[in-house]
Structure 1
């Protein structure tokens, strides 16, 4: 099955997205949600709380504590299930209907390192 490619964007649009490496320090359950977890992420110069829908995707979501992953850090904070999310984790597979995996650097780099 061929999956459609999303609409073309400009290089300038892509440059607006601030993608950085962060270490997931803590994974917690969002009590009033069936699918959300709360990630506490260290980006060296700042920390963020990022909500993600991995509660049903992993038997033990805390298995990703201590891992580095890629995050969008310049999204407008969004109120979800009564809590604010201050970014977005990049995962691979959800849109294709497979159990998502984190987008991670191939080796450890300093927290806060930017994509590009």
Structure 2
């Protein structure tokens, strides 16, 4: 069992319509690369079955060897975020990395067993 943390306040309520706007899918991290000129960012190439995306994440300082630790794994991603330029690279989504906001070493949100890449949450 893990240590307890002080729970953050619950955010304001949203509607099911708000939740339906978020496209969350399972993707496989097929490649992890460093982002030049960034102490925090890594660049992931993620396979979603019918499409591939480049997604950046600030986990370089959170993990000893991000490539060895997450490459080849499935995880949950938001795929309908507007592209965002960071450190000269464009990110086309967001990975669910659990724990950062609560000050613990983050872990990936992953399916409990293998599923096809591109499967949607919900």
For Structure 1 versus Structure 2, the TM-score category normalised by the shorter chain is over 0.9
SS in 2 for 1:32: coil
Offset of residue 65 of structure 1:
0.6
**C-alpha offsets along residues 70-103 of structure 1, whole Å, 9 cap, x if unaligned?**
0000000001111100000001100100010000
2:43 aligned with 1:11, yes or no? Answer: no
Of residues 85, 88, 98, the one that matches 1:92 is: 98
2:65 to 40, 60, 69: 60
Match of 1:77 among 79, 83, 103: 83
C-alpha distance in 1 between matches for 2:49 and 2:74: 12
- The runs of 5 or more residues in structure 2 that have no matched partner are 1-5
Partner in structure 2 of residue 101 of structure 1? 107
The ranges of structure 1 where at least 4 consecutive aligned residues each deviate by more than 6 angstroms after the TM superposition are: none
Q: List gaps (5 residues or longer) in structure 1.
A: none
What's the offset of the Cα at 1:68?
Answer: 0.2
Pairwise CA RMSD of aligned residues?
0.7
Question: How far has the Cα of 1:51 moved from its partner?
Answer: 0.2
The alignment partner of 2:17 has SS state of: helix
Task: Answer yes or no: is 1:22 the counterpart of 2:27.
Answer: yes
Q: Work out the CA distance in 2 between the residues paired with 1:3 and 1:74.
A: 27
